[in-house]
Amino acid sequence: MPEKADRAYSPRADLLAGRVVLVTGAGDGIGRAAALAYAEHGADVVLLGRTEHKLEAVFDLIEASTETRPVVVPADLLHASEDAATILYHAIRREYGRLDGVLHNAGLLGPRTSIAEYAVSDWLEVMHVNVNAAFIVTRAMMPLLEESDDASVVFTFSGVGRRGRAHWGAYAVSKFALEGLMEVLADETARAGRIRVNSLNPGATRTAMRAAAYPHEDPETLPPPEDHMGLYLYLMGPDSKGVTGQRFDAGFWSSPH
């Protein structure tokens, strides 16, 4: 595993110029930081998330500070369906005519409780948002991604999806499942070489989800999402071309340069 922090990577200013990137969970936390970073480096960003006013705030920041063309897509992935994803696919094709990247950042923590006490309804919700929606959206976007010369799909995983821990329930299981989805898709697309597929673990980061999972932790002791953007840019940009089927940890990564 690489040993240096991801902030050592220095992406060029026009790294993503001419590209279109879809970011789920773009209204807050890591998704917001990634959407802003992608736009600042030239990408037109499709901002998908549950809370419209948060997405509008990100949209306004991008419009005020870049020459890119963002678009807001309010959507609750708890209700993600094949039909809704197909509508999104056609909207992106109509608006931009291309798609070069997808960052699957949206996620649902769910209750921190034992399997024996885990409500079935909560389990199904977490699995749908974290796994099924990622599959549904990715599947719908594949025709656009396959038309790109250099497309990237990034799934967000977690340390509890590498080794399960008590009381992490559906969240942990969903992250194990995402790793499997990443590996299958990476293997399927490796030969053509047009789409790379990787997973990224942001680790302990100052986000609302982290605060919900660790309510007694001081958030000021954690790095903000912006500290990890070097890795997010590397994986979405051309410098990672040919890198696929890999797991990256934000706190233990360095540029290949």
Residue of 38, 171, 232, 234 marked catalytic: 171
Q: What is the DSSP string of the chain?
A: ---S-GGG----TTTTTT-EEEEETTTSHHHHHHHHHHHHTT-EEEEEES-HHHHHHHHHHHHHH-S---EEEE--GGG--HHHHHHHHHHHHHHTS---EEEE----------GGG--HHHHHHHHIIIIIHHHHHHHHHHHHHHHSSSEEEEEE--GGGTS--TT-HHHHHHHHHHHHHHHHHHHHHTTT-SEEEEEEE--S-SSHHHHHH-TTS-GGGS--GGGGHHHHHHHHSGGGTT--S-EEEGGG-----
Q: Is 213 exposed, middle or buried (0-12, 13-18, 19+ CB in 10 A)?
A: middle
> Could you confirm whether 171 is annotated as catalytic?
yes
Residues annotated as part of the active site:
171
